[in-house]
A and B are shown apart, each in its own frame.
Chain A
Amino acid sequence: MRSTLSLKDRFSRWLPRLVLSPSLVAIIVGVYLFIAWTGWISLSSSKMVPKYDFVGLEQYIRLWSTPRWETAVANLFVFTVLFLAITIAIGLLIAILLDQQIRAEGFLRAVYLYPMALSFIVTGTAWKWILNPDLGVEKVVNDLGWTGFVFDWITRPEYAIYCVVIAAVWQSTGFAMAIFLAGLRGIDTSIIKAAQIEGASLPRIYLNIIVPMLRPAFLSVIVLLSYISIKSFDLVLALTGGGPGNSTEMPSTFMFSATFRRNQMGVGAASAMMMLMTVAAIIIPYLYSELKEARNEH
């Protein structure tokens, strides 16, 4: 029966796959093959130019014995925890407040969200200026008469990472808010009415009923913010340049400077692979569960 298919019909059956294939090739090469390539370099002795030998895990051992990398990992941990906690807290608060039939909601939402449209370089530049102790916020507060006020975190190695957190929170809160708000809007308002009739107060309703219902939104926000924090590179570079000293070094900046500034391509590749594995460990289960759910819905 199949053999009677005309050549034209057979062509048109394959046409969609044919049209899709260049994209697929681009993704396979640009993502998967390149990852494999980086993985290979991370197992080689490459320094300034790629070398295709095999030295086992030497570069990884070197990486983990570099104090600078340890700083980067510790910073990433501190940064991610604070960044997620604060962004989620403020984002959720704003979303809940905005969900109370607010006048000018559209305008307010736009205000909270606009930093998301900016480049991290712009954000870093702006906050570098604001956090500048000689001329920025510290001086404004001092001029207001509160002369003892000190806010010089950006110049102090032990505190500079918190400056990165502040700027990153400022930029990303709107994103968390948008997802939480979408989640809140998806909740049947009759649930709130039912709880009110039972005598629950509004804060209690949110705490005990609504927030637990936002589980999928929480999942999305946590995953996507973690991803942002792992790859955050531009912000650190623009805000602190990794300094003072290398106190705000992050894996992303470490990878960049190892590869392009210090001629340690092998170590750079190893650090890139570490970043990739971290992201993959978070993202792949997430994508898997999302796709599975999506399939169940159809």
Chain B
Amino acid sequence: MSTLEIDRVRKAYGNLEVLKEVSISIGTGDFLVLLGPSGCGKSTLLNMIAGLETVTGGEIRIAGRTVNDLSPKDRDIAMVFQSYALYPTMTVRQNIEFGMKIRKVAQADRDKAVKTASDLLQITHLLDRKPSQLSGGQRQRVAMGRAIVREPKLFLFDEPLSNLDAKLRVDMRTEIKRLHARLGTTIVYVTHDQIEAMTLATRVAVMKDGVVQQLDEPQAVYDRPANVYVARFVGSPAMNIVPALLEADGTAVIEIARRPAARIGGIALSADALRRYAGKKVLVGIRPENFSIASTGSTAPSLTIDFDVVEPTGPDTLAVFQLGGVEVTARLPPRQAHAGREAGLAVDTSKIVLFDSETETRID
């Protein structure tokens, strides 16, 4: 069993509160990603789980045991750092064994553990090198090797891929995913990269200003963002947030400059919500891929707009236009959009999310 419970945890430096009653709990084998921009408190939270920062209030439990006052070495955790933090004067082998040496593990067992880990990570041929002789990706593997041999209850990753170049980052991401699948360990992973969160996590906690905005499966976070902040943070290009007026029958009316307003009906909404928001301003969230070129005879609601800018990316084209007074991006198949031209677009209403225009939280 290696669960993690973060129970109303707070952190303050003097009067400055960086974490406000954060509660997260995950089960054995979960891959939790703490996602957020720098300064949101995600690294502080990770350091508190590791025991590198003190807890101001609340409780952290690893495998059911409260660890608030335990020193890092007694928490049964391993950590991989952004800068890898390999001991520069030790060889790869010495780096990996250092922790075991301190715990006085017998030489034979140490050798076995080093062999298993280095085979798994394919770094056996590097064991006698110094960290300075390794590439970034190799250093990353060694850092993971050092974590693996501890066989901890909990793995902590602090932005482990942000020092790698784009190509290597994708490869290592796959590597980490494979490792998680093979070892089945519980992982807490901090990143500001929403793609890493989407691809790796079983649970994502989106954080902002020391508060968890949403804790859910990645796909759920993507499809049903809890608020405008999460909607904009997850997904690239970001979800379009367009002001609209909600009519009594649930149709959202969006103004379009110099053209008739778009009327988008058929948005899934509870009767209660409809009653509360009828006749009021709301925010309509539409993912770029939920637009398509309207085909004749389709029943989907459509709107007529003029494209401003068109950016081909290869597999598809990003088309930018004005909608409801804001800039909106649509992801369309290649060669279908042309800058300066008029076009009719259809919207997949089943994917549309509505937000309260005041609180910016999702309306269900």
Touching in the complex, A and B, CB below 8 A? Answer: yes
User: Which A residues are closer than 8 A to B by beta carbons?
Assistant: 1-2, 4-6, 9, 12
Q: In the bound complex, how far is the Cα of B69 from the Cα of A6, in angstroms?
A: 9
Minimum CB distance partner of A3 in chain B: B69
Greatest chain A CB density within 10 A among B55, B57, B68 is at: B68
| B199 interface contact, C-beta 8 A | no
CB distance from A298 to the nearest CB of B (A): 15
Bound CA span A290–B15, Å: 28
Give the secondary structure class of B's interface: loop
- Collect the chain B residues with CB atoms within 8 Å of residue A4's CB: 68-69
Please, how many angstroms separate the alpha-carbon atoms of A284 and B290 in the complex?
Answer: 65
**Interface: B270 (CB within 8 A):** no
| Cα(A6)–Cα(B74), bound, Å | 13
Measured CB to CB, the closest approach of chain A to B74, in angstroms, equals 10
B107 within 8 A of A: no
Q: How far is the CB of A26 from chain B (nearest CB, A)?
A: 30
Shortest C-beta distance, B182 to chain A (Å), equals 36
In the assembled complex, how far is the CB of residue B54 from the closest CB belonging to chain A, in whole angstroms?
9
Chain B positions within 8 Å of A, measured between CB atoms, are 55, 57, 68-69, 71
Docked complex Cα distance between A4 and B69 (Å): 7
Q: Is the CB of A9 within 8 A of B68?
A: no
A1–B68 touching, CB < 8 Å:
yes
From residue A37, how far is it (CB to closest CB) to chain B in Å?
Answer: 38
A12 to B51, CA, bound (A): 14
Question: What is the bound-complex CA distance between A12 and B71, given in angstroms?
Answer: 10
Q: Residue on B with the closest CB to A8?
A: B71
| Pair A9/B55 contact, Cβ less than 8 Å | no
A9 to B51, CA, bound (A): 12
In angstroms, how far is the closest chain B Cβ from the Cβ of A16?
Answer: 14
Min C-beta distance of A18 to chain B, whole Å = 17
Residues of chain A contacted by B68 (CB below 8 angstroms): 1, 4
In the complex, A8→B71 CA distance in Å?
Answer: 11
Q: Give the residue name and chain of the B residue nearest to A12 (CB).
A: B71
Complex interface: chain B residues within 8 A of A5 (CB): 69
CA A1 to CA B68, docked complex, whole Å: 8
* Least distance between B242 CB and chain A CB atoms (Å): 42
Query: Which residues from chain A contact B71 at a C-beta distance below 8 Å?
Result: 9, 12
Docked Cα-Cα span, A12 to B57, in Å, equals: 22
Known A6-B69, A9-B71, A12-B71; further 9 A-B contacts with Cβ < 8 A: A1-B55, A1-B57, A1-B68, A1-B69, A2-B69, A4-B68, A4-B69, A5-B69, A9-B69
Chain A: which residue is nearest B70 at the CB level? A9
Min CB distance B4 to A, Å, is 19
Chain B CB within 10 Å, residue with most, of A1, A4, A6, A9: A1
CA distance A9 to B68 in the complex (A): 12
CB distance from B187 to the nearest CB of A (A): 27
Collect the chain A residues with CB atoms within 8 Å of residue B57's CB. 1
